[in-house]
Amino acid sequence: MTRQAGVALLVGLATMATVAGCGRKTLPRPPALVAPQPVTSVALSERPTGVEIGWDRSTKYADGSRMTDLGGFIVERQSFSTEFHEIARVPITDRGRFRQARRFEHLDEDVTPGMMYHYRVVAFTLDGYYSAPSGAAAITWSPPDTAPTAATPDTQQ
């Protein structure tokens, strides 16, 4: 055996011993595959005090495997010609529960009647990996008529 072959064999054995001895039992995955899949369903509803944004829980990583470390969601809004910006973070608080929430909601009360708003949601893991944004959903907020009704005259004398 040549000296180079012997060194290569020792390096290979040392690498195998290091990999076999560590706590990781699977090969590391690239960051692009451990990010959550994008949220697919964003629904908007008018409420008397604002716009309610609802979406389904992300359950899989980008590579299609089951997600176990969902950290929460970022709700983003755009109005006029502004860029999307974060308006809320919705943390996941049901880790370890037998029954986990399937649907999430956020009420945006910082809205103006007659304005059009676009919303999207981004999922993130506990390790800080972020999904691509969901498709944008649009709504023009028109609160129900809240004008006071005419007062009836007092019938008592």
Q: Using one digit for the tens of pLDDT, what is the confidence trace for 83-99?
A: 999 999 999 988 666 77
Helix, strand or coil, per DSSP, at residue 34: helix
Are the CB atoms for 83 and 33 separated by under 8 Å?
Answer: no
- The overall average pLDDT reported for the chain is 81
pTM higher than 0.75, yes or no?
no
Are the CB atoms for 104 and 90 separated by under 8 Å?
Answer: yes
Domains observed in the chain: 25-139 (2.60.40.10)
The pair of three-digit structure tokens given for residue 56, joined into one six-digit string: 């389904």
Amino acid (one-letter) located at 104: F
Main-chain phi, psi angles of 26, to 5 degrees: -125, 165
DSSP state of 64: S
Above 80 in pLDDT, residue 14? no
Helix, strand or coil, per DSSP, at residue 28: coil
Above 90 in pLDDT, residue 118? yes
